[in-house]
Amino acid sequence: MVRSLSSAILIFCGWALAQTASADEERVTFEMVAIQATSEGRDQPAFDENLSDLKETLRELPYDTYKHLVTTKISTAYNKEARFPIDARYTLIVKPVKKEHDGRIVVETRIEAVEAVEADKQKPPVNALKATSTMVPGDRLKLHGLKLETGKLVIVLTARV
Amino acid sequence: MSKRRTEKELEQWFDGELDEAAFDESRIENDPDLSVHLAVLRALRSGARQAVPAPAIADAQFPAFMAGIREGIEAPRARLGGFWAYASIVTAALIVSVSLLVIFSQGPANVKAQTEVESVSSDIEGATFDTHRSEDGSATIWINTAGEDLW
């Protein structure tokens, strides 16, 4: 009876440890909204219809006209990069590093930029912006200021688990 | 004749080591001390007869007796310590597993902290940064590149 009870307990221990191991395979879903922002002298800021959910978030930025470029949603595991192409020049790369005890996620973000030259004179991409942030799931991280052909690039990034 | 010698003769007579003719029993009646001594001897004999006789091992039984002694010496002791060690290990493993299961099976903690920018950098020469947090909890990074061109 003692042997049977011990075997049952050890089997339970193995199952419990398997459950804890599965926690490490958790994935993070990122949503990126890329926006072209310009200042045109408006009295009130103007937003594309696609950006209605982000009006309050964008209102504090120093622009008055916001045009939606692209929205992408990607799910990735910890320590795996997710690439969000924006246009011919910029690509956003995001990597969730770890989950903190308080539930926040440490995220590494970088915006790769390619100099616009002829194809045979392409230089390797540079990191126009690199940042490490501790994000609350559901909160937004705004990156803005990089130049576009017209206006500035604004990126709104949201992480969810 | 000394008193001690007399008592010794009385003891020998009492134990049957003297002939009856060698000891004059009338001396016991005439000597109070000898009477008392005889009474003591009789009491001792009576007490000795009432004592439990110790079991004796006969010669034929001695080999079996020694075999039993050797078996007792060579028999392994009951390993109660082994049982308790095993039980302790199993209990410790159970406690650790249950604790880990409780910790990792809990849902996401109520996050009260805010999104924070820990570090910012750029490969663009002359780039400057500004970071701040908005009232809605979002964090903002503003990169300012010098000049009109990206590089």
pLDDT in tens, A107-127: 999 999 987 666 666 678 899
Model confidence pTM above 0.90: no
- How far is A57 from A31, CA to CA, in rounded Å? 15
Consecutive H or E run containing B93: helix B80-105
Q: Which residue in A17, A56, A51, A14 sits closest to A34, CA to CA?
A: A51
Give me the tens of pLDDT residue by residue for chain B, a chain 151 residues long.
578 888 888 898 888 888 777 778 888 888 888 899 999 999 998 888 877 667 778 888 888 889 988 888 887 766 556 788 888 888 888 888 888 877 766 655 555 678 999 999 999 888 999 998 887 778 999 999 876 555 4
Residue B128 sits at the chain A interface (C-beta within 8 Å): no
Query: Is the C-alpha dihedral spanning A34, A38, A39, A40 positive or negative?
Result: negative
For residue A133, what are the β-bridge partners? A107, B117
Judged by average pLDDT, the poorest of A6-10, A37-41, B23-27, B104-108 is B104-108
- How far is B69 from B71, CA to CA, in rounded Å? 6
Q: What is the pLDDT of residue B106?
A: 61
Distance of alpha carbon B150 from the chain centroid: 80
Residue A102 sits at the chain B interface (C-beta within 8 Å): yes
According to DSSP, residue B45 is labeled H
Q: What is the pLDDT of residue B87?
A: 82
CA distance B72 to chain A (A): 28
Strand residue runs (E) in chain A: 27-38, 46-47, 65-77, 82-85, 90-99, 105-113, 126-135, 140-147, 152-160
- How far is A99 from A95, CA to CA, in rounded Å? 12
Q: What is the pLDDT of residue B151?
A: 44
**Predicted interface score ipTM higher than 0.90:** no
CA distance B130 to chain A (A): 10
